[in-house]
A and B are shown apart, each in its own frame.
Chain A
Amino acid sequence: GQQVQQSPASLVLQEGENAELQCNFSTSLNSMQWFYQRPGGSLVSLFYNPSGTKHSGRLTSTTVIKERRSSLHISSSQTTDSGTYLCASGANTGKLTFGHGTILRVHP
């Protein structure tokens, strides 16, 4: 079945630094999503990005299907960006396969 590998597992930044989070998946996908999980557990969808590049404020997601990878770039990090970032690849049945996540800590 589909496997999703995220890297790094954890990342510590000083406020203002940039972050690059990676997601690699084992087989061809139908969809790709990036989520932010708050410490309380709720999931916030950041990007639905099956292919190409999308921007949202300080966030950029790039998915390259033929290379089976997606990245999330956070520019000028802030302490409020701290949390867990999850990527998930989707099959045409709607089933999302999640990575283990990247835990981001941004210090002031």
Chain B
Amino acid sequence: ETAVFQTPNYHVTQVGNEVSFNCKQTLGHDTMYWYKQDSKKLLKIMFSYNNKQLIVNETVPRRFSPQSSDKAHLNLRIKSVEPEDSAVYLCASSWDWGYEQYFGPGTRLTVL
């Protein structure tokens, strides 16, 4: 049963545009994450966030930023997309740091 929801499923856009992806979890978790899965299928953490702290992977370009309205939502904004941003973006949540993580279905971004 899905408890981490992501929209949209797919998004195609042009270089330089701004995009925003939504993530909502109904598990009551305090911590949420964004991961990027590249063309080689390797998943890498981008952001870890709860009401105490935002941890940013140092390799993430500044054009990426997480946006949270409450602990159930963590959106991902890309200010000006580049071709290398084409990937699947996966959202996850857990009770706290270090606990089991539950993933959403992902958003596939294609940058033309």
Contact = CB atoms under 8 A, between A and B. Distances in A.
Interface of A: 30-31, 33, 35, 40-43, 45, 48, 84, 86, 88, 90-98, 100-101
B100 interface: yes
A101 B40 CA distance: 10
B103 A45 contact: yes
B101 interface: yes
B21 to A, nearest CB: 14
Contacts of A45: 100-103
Contacts, number: 64
B25 interface: no
A93 B97 contact: yes
A97 B57 CA distance: 12
Most buried by B among A33, A92, A98: A98
A19 B40 CA distance: 23
Contact of B98 (A30, A40, A97): A30
B41 A94 contact: no
B99 A31 contact: yes
Chain B, interface size category, equals 20 to 34
Given A41-B88, A90-B98, A100-B42, A95 B48 contact: yes
B90 A31 contact: no
Nearest to A47: B100
Contact of B42 (A41, A94, A98): A98
B100 A41 contact: no
B108 to A, nearest CB: 7
A91 B105 contact: no
B75 to A, nearest CB: 18
A31 B41 contact: no
Contacts of B37: 41
Most buried by A among B31, B40, B41, B55: B41
Contacts of A92: 97-98
Contacts of A84: 41
